[in-house]
């Protein structure tokens, strides 16, 4: 949730730290802080609110140092305040620490340290780490004190630390919370997320759980906490700076919505063999033999990724003939899920760091299942811990509300449908039809996104609506759920997403002249059935925006507004019908004056349970 950035080199640390924090703000943003080391002294600045607040408070020597760490916080233990903001210090301000994760035994450690005379100033679990190191420093050097302190922790951490007793080094470690080292020329960055260092370094090293690194101007050493030296591979960082910025748009969300023709195409690139009606998925090659033998798929994911999984279930069962179950990852490990070595568990996750999804992967592995990751962030924990997987290649998704990652997940689920389908008897003709349909989609997505202006007008017109109902049937049922989630999370309007047929079992009671229904009814195999639902809403005075297929303009007589999407294969319609709903939520949030990219109470990557 929170973001860490650190710098050591010959240039001004503050500039890298502030820029890195800005890029990390989407992870959590109730407060921020920065500490730099100059002439053997630590200078600390903290502020509640956004990074701009912090920057305006940085004074004097803190503006000119070459080593420093910084953090944006999303509160877990202790309310948002300057005192609770990171970096945290020991009793005398001789060391400084930033931490992501949760120290589960912090109360016990805090009591022990208070008993030894340590004075705590914050309510956070993180501060115990600083005091633990301080305590250990009484009997050893900084490096040993750092590792001994970490060994005493239960829970998770990504940490970066520096201390005046070893003032030219940066210490970092990871267990359960991501930490990446960026390697530049005579300088190094560390961060919880590579997007903070894009454009500054071209190589990165991903720390694994239980690993630490000591970095100075001469280089870095990576070790286990037991001091075993490790050889780590430096990987090329492919994301460009331009990709990580807004590209001239007012918000990341609209940039990411409009990027979907490209991100969708990138998900298919090199994988779709139209003439053979096949999907070539290189990441699955090592486990292909095992995949031939599976008899069941479980998709584990959260939020928007869960909705993509639901659409994937319909595709895979209809065209690949494999039983599929979609599970909330947050439930997976708490119930008895019947999986075994013939089950493939697919973890769908944009960030690859969602704690619940990661826990589901670990539980599935324990039960002997084959685990596959469909992940956007390269090198993320889920990508590394699954047996095999497929990257989305959607590029960095910065806005908290997920959009392009969702459609790229749908692209990959459609590729998986082809992959499994053709392995299990899908005909060449059907394979070619789906592959051709997929190939056409980027230009169709573009066409739908061109309707941003009329959708903006609709959002303004209905901006005072007190509640929304989103309905869709079959392939578009998950889109109703996803449309409702989008409007809830960024426009803060109560919204329900339901299968159209469920409306009469309860939600119909919500319909009155004030309500607005977003009704997804493309001309597909269930169109006629859906339309009776529309009549029922109109009969009760409800207002309706219908999303339907081009050529079906006649529906206008039954609806208050119509949004048209081009014709495509039924299983691919969700990839088009979600676009107007993303745009509607975006424009509604802007019309209401909300902070679109940073909705209240939410964080981009939910790395706590
Ligand atoms: C909604 C949203 C969240 C995420 C969920 C899972 O717009 O972004 O619901 O989809 O937290 O995140 P990932 O896909 O990173 O596992």
pLDDT tens readout for residues 530-585: 898 898 898 889 999 999 999 998 888 889 999 999 999 999 999 999 999 999 99
Q: What is the CATH number of the domain that holds 35?
A: 3.60.20.10
Q: How high is the pLDDT of residue 19?
A: 94
Distance 305 CA to ligand 1 centre (A): 6
Which residue owns the Cα nearest ligand 1 atom 5? 303
pLDDT digits (tens, 9 = 90+) for 456-469: 999 999 999 999 99
Q: What is the CATH number of the domain that holds 396?
A: 3.40.50.10490
Q: Which of 2, 175, 255, 523 is catalytic?
A: 2
Q: Are 281 and 209 part of one and the same domain?
A: no
Residue 180 has pLDDT above 70, yes or no: yes
Cα separation, 39 vs 23, in Å, equals 29
Q: How high is the pLDDT of residue 203?
A: 94
Asked if residue 302 has its Cβ within 6 Å of ligand 1, the reply is yes
Rounded to an integer, the average pLDDT of 135-154 is 97
Q: Are 490 and 585 part of one and the same domain?
A: yes
Q: How high is the pLDDT of residue 599?
A: 86
Q: Are 396 and 477 part of one and the same domain?
A: no
Q: Are 501 and 573 part of one and the same domain?
A: yes
Asked if residue 135 has its Cβ within 6 Å of ligand 1, the reply is no
Which residue owns the Cα nearest ligand 1 atom 10? 304
Q: Are 498 and 573 part of one and the same domain?
A: yes
Asked if residue 266 has its Cβ within 6 Å of ligand 1, the reply is no
Residue position matching structure tokens 């119509």: 562
Ligand 1 atom with minimal separation from the 304 CA? 10
Residue 27 has pLDDT above 60, yes or no: no
Q: How high is the pLDDT of residue 471?
A: 97
Asked if residue 349 has its Cβ within 6 Å of ligand 1, the reply is yes
Asked if residue 402 has its Cβ within 6 Å of ligand 1, the reply is yes
Share of the chain above pLDDT 70, in %: 97
Q: How high is the pLDDT of residue 576?
A: 98
Q: How high is the pLDDT of residue 246?
A: 73
Ligand 1 atom with minimal separation from the 405 CA? 14
Q: Are 437 and 460 part of one and the same domain?
A: no
Q: How high is the pLDDT of residue 483?
A: 98
Asked if residue 357 has its Cβ within 6 Å of ligand 1, the reply is yes
Residue 549, beta-bridge partner list:
565
Cα separation, 26 vs 256, in Å, equals 14
Rounded to an integer, the average pLDDT of 474-501 is 96
Identify whether 479 is part of a domain.
Answer: yes
Q: Are 170 and 258 part of one and the same domain?
A: no
Active site residue 2: yes
Identify whether 605 is part of a domain.
Answer: no
Q: Are 113 and 41 part of one and the same domain?
A: yes
Asked if residue 386 has its Cβ within 6 Å of ligand 1, the reply is no
Residue 256 has pLDDT above 60, yes or no: yes
Q: How high is the pLDDT of residue 62?
A: 82
Q: How high is the pLDDT of residue 76?
A: 64
Q: Which of 204, 517, 554, 268 is nearest to 412 (CA)?
A: 268
Asked if residue 530 has its Cβ within 6 Å of ligand 1, the reply is no
Ligand 1 atom with minimal separation from the 604 CA? 8
The radius of gyration of the chain's CA atoms, rounded to the nearest angstrom, is 25
- Strands 516-520 and 468-472 turn out to be parallel
pLDDT digits (tens, 9 = 90+) for 415-468: 999 999 999 999 999 999 999 999 999 999 999 999 999 999 999 999 999 999
Instruction: Lowest mean pLDDT of 53-57, 190-194, 395-399, 411-415, name the range.
Output: 395-399
Residue 224 has pLDDT above 90, yes or no: yes
Asked if residue 350 has its Cβ within 6 Å of ligand 1, the reply is yes
Q: Which of 243, 270, 297 is the last residue of a domain?
A: 243
Q: How high is the pLDDT of residue 532?
A: 87
Identify whether 608 is part of a domain.
Answer: no
Q: Which of 14, 50, 488, 604 is catalytic?
A: 604
Asked if residue 354 has its Cβ within 6 Å of ligand 1, the reply is yes
Q: Are 391 and 493 part of one and the same domain?
A: no
H-only helix segments in 450-550? 452-461, 477-491, 527-539
Rounded to an integer, the average pLDDT of 260-282 is 94
Active site residue 486: no
Distance 308 CA to ligand 1 centre (A): 11
Q: Are 435 and 290 part of one and the same domain?
A: yes
Q: Which of 185, 217, 243 is the last residue of a domain?
A: 243
Which residue owns the Cα nearest ligand 1 atom 7? 401
Q: Which residues contact 282 (CB under 8 A, 6 or more apart)?
A: 271
Q: Which of 220, 243, 266 is the last residue of a domain?
A: 243
Binned at pLDDT 50, 70 and 90, residue 602 comes out as confident
Distance 587 CA to ligand 1 centre (A): 20
Q: How high is the pLDDT of residue 60?
A: 86
Residues in the chain: 609
Distance 401 CA to ligand 1 centre (A): 8
Asked if residue 330 has its Cβ within 6 Å of ligand 1, the reply is no
Q: How high is the pLDDT of residue 247?
A: 64
Identify whether 305 is part of a domain.
Answer: yes
Rounded to an integer, the average pLDDT of 204-225 is 96
Q: How high is the pLDDT of residue 29?
A: 66
| Cβ-based neighbour number of residue 514 at 10 Å | 13
Which residue owns the Cα nearest ligand 1 atom 3? 303
Task: Give the mutation target among 192, 195, 606 for probing the ligand 1 site: most ligand atoms within 8 A of CB.
Answer: 606
Identify whether 607 is part of a domain.
Answer: no
Distance 204 CA to ligand 1 centre (A): 25
Identify whether 121 is part of a domain.
Answer: yes
Cα separation, 135 vs 129, in Å, equals 10
Asked if residue 401 has its Cβ within 6 Å of ligand 1, the reply is yes
Q: Are 6 and 133 part of one and the same domain?
A: yes
| Maximum alpha-carbon separation in the chain | 82
Q: How high is the pLDDT of residue 553?
A: 83
Distance 133 CA to ligand 1 centre (A): 35
Q: Are 276 and 373 part of one and the same domain?
A: yes
Binned at pLDDT 50, 70 and 90, residue 508 comes out as confident
| Cα atoms in the 13 Å half-sphere on the side-chain side of 582 | 31
Rounded to an integer, the average pLDDT of 232-245 is 77
Instruction: Lowest mean pLDDT of 317-331, 348-362, 503-517, 594-608, name the range.
Output: 594-608
Q: How high is the pLDDT of residue 238?
A: 75
Distance 74 CA to ligand 1 centre (A): 16
Q: How high is the pLDDT of residue 241?
A: 65
Q: How far, in Å, are 282, 296, 407, 499 from residue 326 at the CA level?
A: 24, 11, 17, 16
Which residue owns the Cα nearest ligand 1 atom 11? 303
Average pLDDT value for the chain? 93
Cα separation, 19 vs 5, in Å, equals 9
Distance 405 CA to ligand 1 centre (A): 9
Q: Which of 435, 434, 421 is nearest to 320 (CA)?
A: 421
pLDDT digits (tens, 9 = 90+) for 401-420: 999 999 999 999 999 999 99
Domain that holds residue 32: 2-243
The total of structural domains in the chain comes to: 3
Binned at pLDDT 50, 70 and 90, residue 249 comes out as confident
Residue position matching structure tokens 């450690």: 109
Identify whether 604 is part of a domain.
Answer: no
Asked if residue 606 has its Cβ within 6 Å of ligand 1, the reply is yes
Give the sheet arrangement for strand 343-349, strand by strand. 324-328, 296-301, 343-349, 370-375, 388-391
Asked if residue 407 has its Cβ within 6 Å of ligand 1, the reply is no
Distance 65 CA to ligand 1 centre (A): 37
Residue 292 has pLDDT above 90, yes or no: yes
Identify whether 606 is part of a domain.
Answer: no
Q: How high is the pLDDT of residue 1?
A: 58
H-only helix segments in 492-572? 527-539
Distance 334 CA to ligand 1 centre (A): 20
| Cα atoms in the 13 Å half-sphere on the side-chain side of 55 | 13
Which residue owns the Cα nearest ligand 1 atom 9? 303
């Amino acid at each position: 949730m929170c973001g860490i950035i650190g710098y050591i080199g010959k240039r001004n640390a503050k500039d890298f730290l502030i820029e890195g924090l800005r890029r990390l703000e989407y992870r959590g943003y109730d407060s921020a802080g920065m500490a730099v080391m100059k002439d053997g002294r630590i200078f600390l600045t903290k502020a509640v609110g956004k990074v701009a607040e912090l920057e305006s408070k940085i004074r004097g020597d803190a503006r000119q140092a070459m080593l420093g760490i910084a953090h944006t916080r999303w509160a877990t233990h202790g309310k948002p305040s300057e005192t609770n903001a990171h970096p945290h210090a020991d009793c005398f301000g001789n060391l400084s620490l930033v931490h992501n994760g949760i120290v589960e035994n912090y109360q016990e450690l805090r009591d022990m340290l208070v008993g030894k005379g340590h004075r705590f100033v914050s309510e956070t679990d993180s501060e115990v780490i600083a005091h633990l190191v301080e305590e250990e420093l009484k009997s050893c050097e900084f490096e040993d004190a750092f590792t001994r302190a970490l060994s005493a922790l239960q829970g998770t951490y990504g940490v970066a630390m520096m201390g005046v007793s070893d003032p030219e080094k940066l210490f970092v470690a990871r267990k359960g919370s991501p930490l990446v080292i960026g390697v530049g020329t005579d300088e190094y960055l560390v961060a919880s997320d590579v997007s903070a260092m894009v454009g500054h370094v071209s190589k990165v090293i991903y720390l694994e759980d239980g690993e630490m690194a000591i970095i100075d101007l001469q280089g870095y050493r990576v070790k286990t906490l037991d001091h075993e030296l490790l050889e780590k591979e430096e990987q090329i960082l492919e994301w460009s700076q331009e990709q990580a910025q807004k590209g001239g748009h007012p918000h990341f969300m609209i940039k990411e919505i409009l990027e979907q023709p490209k991100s969708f195409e990138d998900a298919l690139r090199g994988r779709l063999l139209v003439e053979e009606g096949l999907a070539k998925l290189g990441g699955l090659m090592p486990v292909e033999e095992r995949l031939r033998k599976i008899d069941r798929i479980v998709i584990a994911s959260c939020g928007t990724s869960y909705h993509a999984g639901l659409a994937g279930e319909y595709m895979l069962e209809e065209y690949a003939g494999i039983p599929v179950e979609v599970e909330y990852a947050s439930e997976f490990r708490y119930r008895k899920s019947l999986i075994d070595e013939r089950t493939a568990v697919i973890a769908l996750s944009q960030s690859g760091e969602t704690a619940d999804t990661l826990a589901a992967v670990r539980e599935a592995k324990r039960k002997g299942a084959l685990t596959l990751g469909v992940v956007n962030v390269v090198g993320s924990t889920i990508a590394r811990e699954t047996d095999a997987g497929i990257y989305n290649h959607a590029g960095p998704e910065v806005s908290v509300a997920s959009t392009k990652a969702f459609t790229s997940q749908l692209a990959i689920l459609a590729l998986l449908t082809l992959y499994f389908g053709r392995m299990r008897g899908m005909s060449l003709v059907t394979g070619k039809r789906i592959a051709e349909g997929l190939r056409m989609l980027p230009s169709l997505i573009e066409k739908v996104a061109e309707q941003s202006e009329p959708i903006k007008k609709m959002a303004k017109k209905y901006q005072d609506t007190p509640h929304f109902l989103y309905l869709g049937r079959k392939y578009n049922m998950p889109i109703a759920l996803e449309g409702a989630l989008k409007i809830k999370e960024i426009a803060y309007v109560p919204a329900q997403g339901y299968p159209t047929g469920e409306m009469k079992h309860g939600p119909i009671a919500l319909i009155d002249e004030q309500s607005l229904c977003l009704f997804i009814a493309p001309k597909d195999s269930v169109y006629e059935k859906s339309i009776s639902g529309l009549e029922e809403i109109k009969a009760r005075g409800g207002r309706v925006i219908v999303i339907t297929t081009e050529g079906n303009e006649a529906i206008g007589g039954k609806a208050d507004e119509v949004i048209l999407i081009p014709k495509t294969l039924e299983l691919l319609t969700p990839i088009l019908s979600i676009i107007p709903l993303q745009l509607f939520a975006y424009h509604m949030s802007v019309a209401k004056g909300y902070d679109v990219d940073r909705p209240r109470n939410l964080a981009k990557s939910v790395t706590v349970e």
